[in-house]
Every structure is written in C-alpha cells, then in structure tokens.
Structure 1
C-alpha cells in the first residue's frame, strides 16, 4: 500500500509512543463494551424477560446494557486524549522537519526562500496530522468493534458467527486487494492536478508572449492535454469508489441477508427469537458500521495520508541522515596569540558541477585585529567568500581556519562563538528591543546595551521606538532600522570576528561611518563587504574580487595596479566619509 518511506515514518511514529498507544487500546477495549454485550443482553432480555412474561427481568438486562453504554461513552472521551498523545508529536516532528529544511535552503549560499513552505506547513502537515489520527481511529475501531461483535456472535451460536464472518472477510479481502491500485491512482490524481495548475499558470503569465509568437494552438493543446489527464484520473478514482462500494455490499450487507435467509433453518435447530434478534444487532450495529468506517476511512483519508506524506518526505528529507555529524567535531582550544584570525588556503567553490568557479585556488590571511574591506562587481564572489569563511558553506577544495581552528571540524555552536556574520537582510524578531539586542549576548545588562547604542549611533532610533523595553514589530521597521538593530546586536556579541556582508547598505553614509568606526575599534577582527568607496577607504587593507586574479592592498596601491578597483571607484562618486571624531 505505501512506499518504504511512508511505512517507516508511520511505524516510527507508532513505535515511539507505545505507552500512549497501549493506553489508547485499553480505553478502546472499554469503549467496545456496548458492541460486545449489546446482542447478548438483548437476547437475554427477550428470551428470559419479555417473551417469558417477566418484564422486570427484561428491563434488568436492558439496564445492564445501559450501564455498558455509559462506560463506553466515558471511554470514548479518554480515547481522544490518548490519540492526541500519539498524533501531536508526529505532527510536530513533521513541522520541525519542514521548517528546518526551509531555513537550511533559504540561508545556505546560493539558496533561496521557499514560498511553498507556509503551504506545506499549514496545509500538508495538517492533512497528515488529521488523516493519521483518522487512520488510527478507524483501525482501532474496526479491530475492537468488529472483534467484540464476532465474540458476541460466538457466544450466541458459532453457526451464526460463521454466517456473518464469512462474507465480511470476503468483502474485506476485496478491499485490501484493490488498495495498492487505489494508492497509485490517488497519487496520479494529485500529480495530474499539480501539472494542470503549473501548465495553466505558465499559459496565463506568458499570454502576451504566446500571442506575440502565435503559439495559441500549441499552448491550448498542452493545457487541454493536462485537463484530459486529470479527467482520466478522476474517472479512475470513481471506479475505485465502485470497488469500495462492492466490498461494503459484500462485507456489510450480505451478512444481514444471510442471517435473515437462514433464520427459519436456525430456529428449527433450536435458536431462540432473542438470539436471532441479538445476532442481527451484532451485525447491523457492530460488524457493518465497523467495516463501513474502515473502508471509507482508509479509502479516503488513508489515501490522502499516503500521498501527502510522500510529498513531504520527498521535499523534506531527513537532514540528520543526509548530513551526519562530522566525527572529528570539536570545540576550539586555546590558541597562541600568533594564530591569524582567518587563514583560508586554496579555496575552490562552484555552484554546480559544470559551472564556472566563483572562487578558484583562493587564499587569504587576516591578522588578528585587522580590518579588511572586500570589493568587487556583482557576482564576483564576495558573499560566497563570507559564507565560506563563516562556515555556512563547505568549499569543494581548500580549508578555512578561524583563530587556528579548522572550520570543517568545528561544531556549529563553537563557530557561533568564533564569528558573527551579518547579512544584508537583517533578521529582527517580534519582541522587546532589549531582547533583540541581547540575542547573541544574553547576559548583557542595560548599561551595556546603552553603551552599544551610543557607540553605533543607534540612540535616536531606540528613543523613537520607546526605549529598551519597547516592543518592536519587524514589518513596521525600515530596512535601515533593521540593519542598525542587527549591527548593535553583532557589536555586542562576544565573537572575535565580525563579517558585515553589505549589512549597512540601507544606512546613510554618516551613520554607516559611525557603525564601521565602532566595529573597527571593537576588540577583534572585521571584514566588510563594501558597497561604498568610503567603506573601502576606512579599511586597513582591501581585497578586490573580479573573477580573475584577486588583488590586495591599500586604497592608494590598488588605484595604481587594479583596473577593476579604479572602475569601481569611478562608479562610487559619493565623497568619502571620515570616521567621527572621538568623544571627549
């Protein structure tokens, strides 16, 4: 019925919560008491009570049935509580996987935000949660309800149990035999709908080009082909529904017909009227509803569960399996003062096996406490270099050491203590301003925060927002305001290396100069991906990336020997901003 991934995930979810599942089965057993006792107690009420002229006895048996119904109703509420203890952790695990993979894809170098993540999280994961819960309920309902009814039939008369069980098993076998085909056709139906949506969207968004090229007939034929394919899958699903109806007719209604037809023969062999009535009750209120619920539940929600979970597992593979932790992972050790802040050796990185390398055989050494500006045209590899140094992206060749420690063998938590990378798109979360500033340094007191705000020129912004305790909403802040808050947060971080990847591009030149001056006088090393000539001039050393041979040197040196740098300086026509004068 299911592919290995779906079977594995389902079994893992069930096995991980065996205790809760056992509790669910226990309450299901209590819930099935009316199904177990109904036919037997009604048969006794009829035979020993009402037909025997003893109505009090008959009412007593019916009272016992009422008690069983009350117990079953109480257990029903408990089953849903136990069901949640199994289903909700499974849902949370899927949601975590979707979010983790979306964040990994969005934050890796060359990655991009996945606009379908919210859809998968709020729609597909919820479908899996609901259908998984439905499958558990219908499966345990069939097992306990049908089992209780069969036990009750055996208690009345084994012959009656055989008459009812035989057609039910035939109907169930027909359904189970058709189930793999149902899954395949449901999968084809979903994919046909996706292909139709993609085809229609492409035709609508490019309708002007279609008209300009005279391709109306071709595009219409393509969309019509997708429509026909989806219609064919819907007709196939309708035939599958007919098979479900056939299995229900054989397994649910044929036992009633068999019992009614065999009633004279059963009565001739000593079966009482109460037993016949009890047998009909077991079939009509036990076996038939249980089979109907199972077939409809698996044939509907079960198919959606398999197909939707397949899609989630396909687009969100288990990251721990694909990327096992490095066996030599370690935290940084004490280093000598001579160790450079960054030592990159012969780095090579490309975004595809056949693509041109963004960086090839590249080397760089940054002394402890040095201020480096990286410049170059768009696409030269500036952000790629920042990601390689920060350890966010592994190179195809070469090594990176931070303070003497190999980035490839250092744990993410240890890397976070060694460097801070501030991207162009600043991340600010909803909450207090102080909480955003303390994100990388939770132990910072208010005085430390005030010092940082003053050093980076962010005091007017903090005052305008309402102070450190003021709640902030990221969508209500401008891009420059978000960048300034992120810069203060990075300045407070204990990491000795800060990488600003165009992290001040939305600030005005004067405020940018204040921010970079604060970072330049902060203990540690600084790399600035520059977008203004003023940022380059303020640096102690510059690195020019132009797709060929990288060049390093001071501003004056590069003006004389780097044509790329001279061209960039010519494009940056704003005046150089000098660092602010030190405070008295």
Structure 2
C-alpha cells in the first residue's frame, strides 16, 4: 500500500485562520497590545532625558542649563522600574492569551484527526499523522507561547521608537533608512524560500517517523526474515533526507542573519556620523543627536527581535499549515437521502485499487442475506481483508457499488453506518483509563450488569474479576498492562455492547490460541444469533460452522457455497480444507 502525505494548507488559509483565531479574543488581544505599547513608551523616556542631560553638561553644567542631574537620574531610574513592571504584565497577558489560543488549536486538531476518513488514515500511514500531532503541535506551541508575543512586542516597540525618532528630529531619521535596502532584499530572499524549506523539513521528519514506526511495529518480522540491514539502510536514507532538508534551512539562516547584523551596524554608524554633521552645521542640537543615536540603537533591538522571531514564525506557520491541512482531506462519502430498507448487504461488480492501475478486487459480486453467517477464506494477499473493508464501508469501491438495504454505503452518514455495520480486526487499542471507560465507548449508557454480560460473552469475565479493582482498574498506558489476547477480548466485548446488525470480523480472534479462539467463537455465535456475520479467517473451523463459504483468489470469488458443498465439489476450498484439517485436527 502506498503512503500518501496528507494535504498542506496554503499561505492564505494559514493567514486567515490565524486572524480568526486571534480575533476570537479581542479583549485579551487589546489588553496585550496596550500593555506592550505602554512598555515601549516607558522605554523611550530614558534616551530623551539622557539627551537633555548631555545638552545640559555641554552648556556648562546643571546650573546654567537648568537641569537637575539628580532629578533627571531619578526619573530615568523610575521609568526603568515602570518599564519592568509593565513588561511583566504585558508578557503575562500575552502568555495567557497564547495558552488559550493553543488549547483551542489542539482541540480543533484532535477533532479534525478524528473526523478523517478511515480509508485516508490507512493510506497516509502513521508517520505523517504522528508528526503532525506531535512535532508540528510542538512547533506551533512554541510559536504561540514565544514567537507571537515576542513579535507583538517587537512591532509595538518598533513603531514607538520610530515615532520617538521622528519627534527627536525628522532629519535624524534619514540615516536609519540606509539600512532598509539590506533588510528588504535579504528578508525577501529569505521569506520566498523559508516556508517551502520548513515544509520539506516536516515532510522528511514524517518520512523518518513512518520508517521507524514500521520497523518497531514489525520488529519480530524483521528479525525472523533477517531484514535488519534493509531496515537500517531505510533508516539511514530517511535520516539523510531529514539532514539535507535541515541543512537547506540552515543555509538560508546563515545568509539572512549576517545581513540583519550588518543592517544594524550601518544604521547606528550612519546615525552617529550624519547626526554629527548635522550638529556641526547647526541643523540639530546635541540633545537631538544623542537621543537619535540612542533611539537608532534601541530600534535595532525590536527590529532584530522581529526578524529573528520571524524565522520561528516561518517554522510555526509551516507546522500550522500541516495541521490545518488535515481539514482539507475530502470526505470519502457523500450522504444522500436514501435510508436502508432492510439489512441485506449486496456488493455488485466491485473493483478496488490502492494504487491507480493495480486493482486488488476484480468485479466481485456478492449478496449476504440478513442473519447469514458467511466465511471468507483464501490464500494470503487474495483480497479478503480488502473485501471486508468494502463490505463494512471503510473504503468505497473504485467501480461498482456496495449497498445495505438498497442504499449505497458511501451515501450513509457515518454515525448511521456504524450503528448498522461494524468492522473488527486483529488490531485493537486499549485507551488509558478504567476498564469500564474502555467498554462504555461502545455504549455509554450501559450499566455494570450489561458490561459483565458482554465480558462473559467473550469469556473475559473471570480475568476481569481478578483485576485489582475489577471494572475500575486503570488499564492502558501507565495502568495494568493487558495481553494482546485480553485486548482482543475487550474489543469483542465492545462489539457485543454496540449490538450492530451486521459484523465484519477480520481475523478478530487471531491473537488467541486455537482452542481459546474456538471456544470464544462458539460463545459469540450464541450471543450474535440472528445477526449477519461476515468472518474473514485462516482457521477453517470458522468456515465449517458458517452457513456459506466464499473463496477469494486473486481478487475474485472463485467458489461459494456451504462447507459440505464445497468439499464435495473438490475445488480450491476442498484442497484448503484437507491441508488445514490434516495439519491441525486439534484446533
């Protein structure tokens, strides 16, 4: 199955979302901007007072200039203290707003991920989703907590400093403009390349995570077939790709950062030199020159902060684009007005491909009547699981239709579909929480008696009662570790509680030993009496107990009938039965 990277939002979508997110909290945003503005204004008083103090000293002393050095020094100190106090509340307000915005962003991401079509999740692979839910969230978190407040501070402070510089002397603002071409050209060069560079970094990281996850999940297979060297080469290639992407963005920064530093040096030197010339010509006072040089030097701080944090915003913006891209995944179903008129499940001339031009199902036609138990058997890779996913509505067929009660599965609302048809595979997850919470996922209103009945139906009630706190035992990550077989029983107990009419069981008891699986299937058969059950299995005792057996080979149904009919026919199923039954009579 090929991995498809999920979509990425474009620049316009990211800007629009960031604007909407910020404007959700206008009061907090206004308070943060106001406090940062007051902080910036308080920082502008000291340079002006220092200029007046220098002018007074040049004029011949405090007495002649009418300047009280002690008073001016005290005022400068007082404004420094005021600046510190205002900065503290400004940063606190910005951080509080950032945490609120970040919490909303995380909640929306979880909602988007949970709303993804299962077919898309399977095709995309785990690496891309994991990286978006972990690394990208972390990058956006850092941007919201640090880069956004720091950028806000830099912008407000920069405007205030520029205003003060103009008030100090319009002519003295001209030297600072000499650095503008350096900043504009270098920033434009950088920004045109940075976003795509950071998107490549994230994609390379996702590829690396995907490869590592495959290796870890398939560790036993890797060891059994001696694939260690191949997986090591895959990991090395992924790391090399990630390193190359990181090196590209590093090269961008090594060009841009020196340009920023050079612009600061040019602006301050020009302010001192040209300001001195203006003073000698009598166009400005010494106080104005002093204040202008200090303001130009002070302006370098918000400008430098703005440009440096702009780099972090590029990283955060690229991560936000990947997070928002999850919402761009098209729905795999188009709900219509038709509702099932019954429970008959019909697949008609169904074809399906994971890759274009490579069908794994070829014109499959199958009718499953309500209450029937159908076993689907065949060699590995024949298309059994794919057929099961189509019958459960996980995938939509490339051609043909799958209908439930006359209504196409892809036109049924997902909530309605899941109440009618449920797929259970050998892959199960136990969530962190109590065992009761894990069971109530299927039926939130179930009482303890219903939960214990469901556990008894899957032969799990004895070991559940033996747990330290019974149903209230904490399981999952950090709790009591359940074995794969126990986790599978919990999944089947959820199935009993959900009580759908049609079940598709894809190797649903594969993690149990043959005797336990046989006993469990018999228990389930009693509980699920009257429901439609489609069982995909390698253990042919499931086929023996079924009403009908469908044999899938090379993406086609080659035989269908009861167990006795197919054995008497002497075809593929008879060969499978003889081979399996002779080698596993005790199962």
TM-score range, shorter chain: 0.7 to 0.9
**Shift in CA distance, 542/235, structure 1 to aligned 2, threshold 3 Å:** closer
Structure 1 residue runs of 4 or more that deviate by more than 6 Å after TM superposition? 45-50, 98-103, 191-198, 205-209, 223-236
Q: Give the match for residue 575 of structure 1.
A: 585
- Matched position secondary structure for 1:348: strand
- Cα deviation for residue 410 of structure 1 reads 0.5
Change (3 A) 1:324 1:493: closer
After superposition, residues 24-103 of structure 1 pair within 5 angstroms as 24-43=32-51, 51-52=65-66, 54-55=68-69, 57-58=71-72, 61-62=75-76, 65-66=79-80, 68-69=82-83, 70-87=85-102, 89-90=104-105, 93=108
Q: CA RMSD, aligned part only?
A: 4.1
Q: Distance in 1 between matches of 2:202 and 2:487?
A: 41
Structure 1 position 95, deviation (Å): 6.8
CA–CA distance in structure 2, aligned partners of residues 185 and 536 of structure 1? 54
For these two proteins, the number of residue pairs brought into alignment is 540
1:462 maps to 2:475: no
Deviation of the 1:472 alpha carbon: 2.0
Q: CA deviation at 1:473?
A: 2.8
Query: In the alignment, does 2:17 pair up with 1:15?
Result: no
Instruction: Render the CA deviation track for 1:278-305: whole Å, top value 9, x for unaligned.
Output: 33332222x121222223333x434544
Unaligned runs of 5+ in 1: 210-222, 578-584
Deviations 1:335-381 (A, max 9, x none): 4xxx34312222122222222x3322222222221111111111122
**For 1:177-192, what aligned pairs fall within 5 Å after superposition?**
177-180=188-191, 183=194
Query: For 1:505, which of 501, 510, 516 is the aligned residue?
Result: 510
Distance 2:542 2:314 in 1: 59
1:382-393 superposed matches below 5 A: 382-393=384-395
2 CA distance for matches of 1:169 and 1:248?
Answer: 10
Q: Which residue number corresponds to residue 414 of structure 1?
A: 416
Cα distance change on mapping 1:99 and 1:44 into 2, 3 Å:
farther
Q: Is the 8 A contact 1:35 1:282 kept in 2?
A: no
On the 8 A contact 1:33/1:68 being kept in 2, the answer is: no
* Partner Cα separation in structure 2 for residue 309 and residue 342 of structure 1: 43
Do 1:374 and 1:528's aligned partners in 2 also have CA atoms closer than 8 Å? yes
Query: In structure 1, how many angstroms separate the alpha carbons of the residues matched to 2:229 and 2:284?
Result: 83
Relative distance call for 1:140 and 1:404 in structure 2 (3 A) is: same
Structure 2 CA distance for partners of 1:303 and 1:407, relative to 1, 3 Å: closer
**What is residue 282 of structure 1 aligned with on the other side?**
295
How big is the shift at 1:115? 3.9
TM-score normalised to structure 1 length:
0.79
- 1:168-208, Cα deviation, whole Å (9 max, x unpaired): 5344334334334663895699599989999xx9xxx9998
Distance (whole Å) between structure 2 residues aligned to residue 537 and residue 76 of structure 1 = 71
Asked if the contact 1:185/1:236 (under 8 Å) is kept, the reply is no
Partner of residue 236, structure 2: none
Judge which range, 455-464 or 17-26, deviates more: 17-26
The 1:169/1:142 distance shift into structure 2, 3 A limit, reads farther
Is the contact made by 2:374 and 2:534 (CA closer than 8 Å) also made in structure 1? yes
Deviation readout 1:549-577 (Å, 9 max, x if unpaired):
43221111000225210121123233377
Gaps of 5+ in 2: 1-7, 57-61, 213-225, 231-238
* Contact 1:375-1:542 within 8 A present in 2 as well: yes
Matches within 5 A, 1:439-518: 439-466=441-468, 467-473=470-476, 476-518=481-523
1:251 pairs with 2:251: no
**Aligned equivalents of 1:322 and 1:191: distance in 2?**
18
Contact 1:34 1:72 in 2 (8 A): no
Q: Is the 8 A contact 2:194 2:252 kept in 1?
A: no
Which structure exhibits the higher relative contact order, with contacts defined as CA atoms closer than 8 Å and separated by 6 or more residues?
2
Where 1:79 maps in the other structure, the secondary structure is: helix
Distance in 1 separating the partners of 2:267 and 2:143: 24
Whole-angstrom CA distance in 2 between matches of 1:512 and 1:418: 25
Q: How do 1:15-414 and structure 2 match up within 5 A?
A: 15-18=20-23, 19=26, 20-43=28-51, 51-52=65-66, 54-55=68-69, 57-58=71-72, 61-62=75-76, 65-66=79-80, 68-69=82-83, 70-87=85-102, 89-90=104-105, 93=108, 105-106=120-121, 108=122, 111=123, 113-115=125-127, 117-131=129-143, 134-160=146-172, 162-180=173-191, 183=194, 238-265=254-281, 268-269=282-283, 271=285, 273-285=286-298, 287-298=299-310, 300-305=311-316, 308-309=318-319, 313=322, 318-324=325-331, 326=333, 328-329=335-336, 332=339, 335=341, 339-355=342-358, 357-414=359-416
Distance 1:123 1:518, change over 3 A: same
- The Cα offsets for residues 292-319 of structure 1, whole Å up to 9 and x where unpaired, read as 2223333x4345446x439x63xx7735
Cα gap change, 1:445 to 1:536, in 2 (>3 Å): same
Distance change (3 Å), C-alpha of 1:135 and 1:434: closer
The equivalent of 1:6 in structure 2 is: 11
The range that moved more, 532-541 or 287-296, is 287-296
| Residue 13 of structure 1, CA deviation | 1.5
User: For residues 44-100 of structure 1, what are the alpha-carbon distances to aligned partners after superposition, in whole Å with 9 as ceiling and x for unaligned?
Assistant: 567687741545653574466346423344323223323444455446656766787
Separation in 2, partners of 1:30, 1:250: 29
The question of whether the paired residues in 2 share the 8 Å contact of 1:487 and 1:515 is answered with no
1:427 equivalent in alignment to 2:441: no
Whether the aligned pair in 1 keeps the contact of 2:45 and 2:79 (CA below 8 Å) is: yes
Structure 1 residue 543: Cα displacement: 1.4
**Partner Cα separation in structure 2 for residue 371 and residue 73 of structure 1:** 69
Q: Which residue of 1 aligns with 2:545?
A: 538
* Farther-moved stretch of structure 1 (525-534 vs 139-148): 139-148
Distance 1:73 1:159, change over 3 A: farther
8 Å CA contact retained: 1:253, 1:288: no
Report if the CA contact (8 A) 1:98-1:120 is conserved.
Answer: no
Report what 1:563 is aligned to: 571
Give the drift of 1:276: 3.7
8 A contact 2:373–2:546 mirrored in 1: yes
What TM-score do you get using the length of structure 2 for normalisation? 0.79
